[in-house]
């Protein structure tokens, strides 16, 4: 199933490949007994990726265009700016800026730095940006981050270490991105499997992605939908809603956020029990060594976030029962703020949207180096581990299905009261679709 999803290729938001995947998912769930399917549509300014181009004393191999960078060709003097030096008009105007990929423990942690550099380069009226990895070209082909969905004002490209060695600061350099910006409509799928009660368990993942890791949560939701649809009605105490959300690679249209807002608005009516988000499953650990990313032979550490004692107990029991190792059960990733509702906002990924809207939430996620590097293909995923994780998710859902709603909620009930009384809460602001102009 994961091979089928990966075979659609780069599923950039609203692209033909993404639309074909959504239609395939729709056919898959629509044929399950008792399931009804609807769509939620979002208008976007699509960025359709093409190749990057870099000429500096000859053609230099480009691993990927930086997502949402400006289409076109621009030229200027190549200037190397260390990470500690901000990109400004004084040092970058009319020039091609060469940056090293940020020194981070995992690639996904570099996103805020990459985004800031692209925004700053646009404000500085730079000719373009080149980001050099410390890893080989072949490993970084197709790299996709930042995934904010913010259209930048300058072209930008990624190059591997072997290509970066050919670059000479001071040389006249041309950087280009062959991509298209066009209006498009994308959609989320919401599949509903009735239970004895109309009260819902909401399972969520995103459909746009770039490889075998991002996003294989679609496979998990399909497998769980097939499993629960085969059960007799008496084995489903609650209705289950499967959300195949769009917009995670174009976050101004983040479908999970809009679904979370809707659930937040109706939660107090008693129609929602809890949400469970699944992302980046079965991942193998790759770490830097000898100038490249090397498999360690271990699983990538993962998190199972849980916002109440009942959800936490279900997570521990499920992980232990299925022998899923190297997994932390956590209440959040950020530093707690005692008077905020909730004290911790981040669940590490799209689970954040539901938890920060004070929906009782669990979220399973990992963040390997292979997350945005599709060149690793099937090698990035241990599918037996992925299967055990999905079985554990199914166990937790089954165990929680008959548990009273107030027991599942735990502290969320008081947090919702505190928010209604004026307590500060988490930001739900989505990234802008366009970077600022100079």
- pLDDT score recorded for residue 100: 98
Mean pLDDT over residues 226-249, rounded?
Answer: 98
Three-state SS for 372? helix
Q: Are strands 238-245 and 180-193 parallel, antiparallel or unpaired?
A: antiparallel
Answer left, alpha or beta for residue 353, where phi above 0 means left and psi between -120 and 50 means alpha.
alpha
Mean pLDDT over residues 182-208, rounded?
Answer: 98
- pLDDT score recorded for residue 359: 98
pLDDT tens-digit map of 298-352 = 999 999 999 999 999 999 999 999 999 999 999 999 999 999 999 999 999 999 9
- pLDDT score recorded for residue 393: 98
- Average pLDDT value for the chain: 97
Length of the chain: 438
Residue corresponding to tokens 């849980």: 306
Mean pLDDT over residues 416-425, rounded?
Answer: 98
Cα→Cα distances 366→63, 217, 300, 342, 389, Å: 24, 11, 7, 22, 12
Confidence of residue 223 (pLDDT cuts 50, 70, 90): very high
CA distance 317 to 321: 6
- pLDDT score recorded for residue 46: 97
Of 331, 332, 305, the closest CA to residue 319 belongs to 305
What lies within 8 Å, CB to CB, of 206 at 6+ separation is 215, 217, 218, 244, 245, 246, 247, 248, 249, 255, 256, 279, 350
Q: Where are the strands (E) in 348-410, listed by range? A: 361-366
- pLDDT score recorded for residue 110: 98
pLDDT tens-digit map of 124-182 = 999 999 999 999 999 999 999 999 999 999 999 999 999 999 999 999 999 999 999 99
Mean pLDDT over residues 229-233, rounded?
Answer: 97
Of 238, 225, 277, the closest CA to residue 256 belongs to 277
Residues 10/12/17/19 CA torsion (nearest 10 deg): 150
Helices (H), 212-300: 217-230, 255-267
pLDDT tens-digit map of 44-64 = 999 998 899 999 999 999 999
pLDDT tens-digit map of 88-115 = 999 999 999 999 999 999 999 999 999 9
Other CB atoms within a 10 A radius of the CB of residue 433 amount to 16
């Amino acid at each position: 199933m994961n091979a089928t999803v990966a075979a659609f290729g780069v599923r950039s938001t609203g692209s033909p490949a993404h639309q074909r995947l959504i239609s395939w998912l729709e056919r898959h769930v629509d044929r399950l007994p008792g399931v009804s399917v609807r769509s939620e549509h979002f208008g976007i300014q699509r960025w359709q990726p093409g190749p990057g181009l870099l000429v500096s004393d000859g053609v230099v191999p480009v691993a990927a265009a930086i997502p949402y960078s400006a289409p076109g060709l621009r030229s200027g003097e190549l200037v190397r700016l260390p990470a500690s030096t901000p990109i400004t008009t004084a040092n970058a105007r009319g020039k091609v800026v060469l940056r090293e990929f940020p020194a981070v423990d995992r690639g996904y942690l570099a996103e805020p730095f990459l985004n800031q550099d692209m925004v700053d380069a646009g404000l500085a009226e730079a000719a373009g940006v080149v980001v050099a990895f410390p890893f080989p070209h072949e490993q970084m082909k197709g790299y996709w981050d930042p995934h904010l969905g913010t259209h930048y004002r300058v072209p930008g490209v990624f190059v591997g270490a072997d290509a970066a060695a050919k670059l000479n600061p001071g040389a006249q350099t041309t950087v280009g991105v062959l991509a298209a910006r066009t209006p498009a409509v994308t959609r989320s799928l919401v599949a509903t499997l009735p239970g004895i009660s109309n009260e819902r368990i909401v399972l969520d993942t995103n459909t746009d992605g770039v490889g075998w890791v991002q996003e294989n949560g679609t496979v998990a939701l399909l497998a769980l939908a097939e499993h629960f649809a085969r059960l007799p009605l008496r084995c489903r105490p609650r209705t289950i809603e499967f959300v195949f959300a769009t917009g995670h690679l174009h976050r101004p249209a983040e479908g999970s956020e809009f679904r979370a807002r809707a659930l937040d608005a109706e939660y107090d009516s008693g129609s929602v029990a809890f949400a469970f988000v699944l992302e980046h499953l079965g991942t193998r650990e790759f770490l830097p060594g000898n100038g490249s990313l090397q498999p360690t032979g271990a699983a990538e550490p993962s998190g199972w976030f849980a916002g109440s004692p009942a959800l936490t107990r279900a997570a521990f029991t499920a992980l232990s029962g299925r022998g899923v190792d190297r997994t932390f059960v956590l209440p959040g990733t950020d530093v707690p703020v005692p008077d905020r509702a909730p004290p911790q906002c981040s669940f590490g990924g799209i689970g954040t949207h539901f938890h920060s809207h004070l929906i009782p939430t669990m979220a399973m996620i990992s963040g390997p180096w292979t997350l945005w590097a599709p060149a690793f293909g099937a090698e990035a995923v241990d599918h037996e581990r992925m299967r055990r994780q999905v079985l554990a998710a199914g166990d937790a859902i089954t165990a929680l299905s008959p548990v009273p709603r107030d027991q599942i909620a735990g502290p969320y009930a008081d947090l919702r009261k505190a928010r209604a009384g004026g307590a500060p809460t988490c930001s739900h602001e989505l990234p802008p679709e366009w970077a600022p102009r100079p």
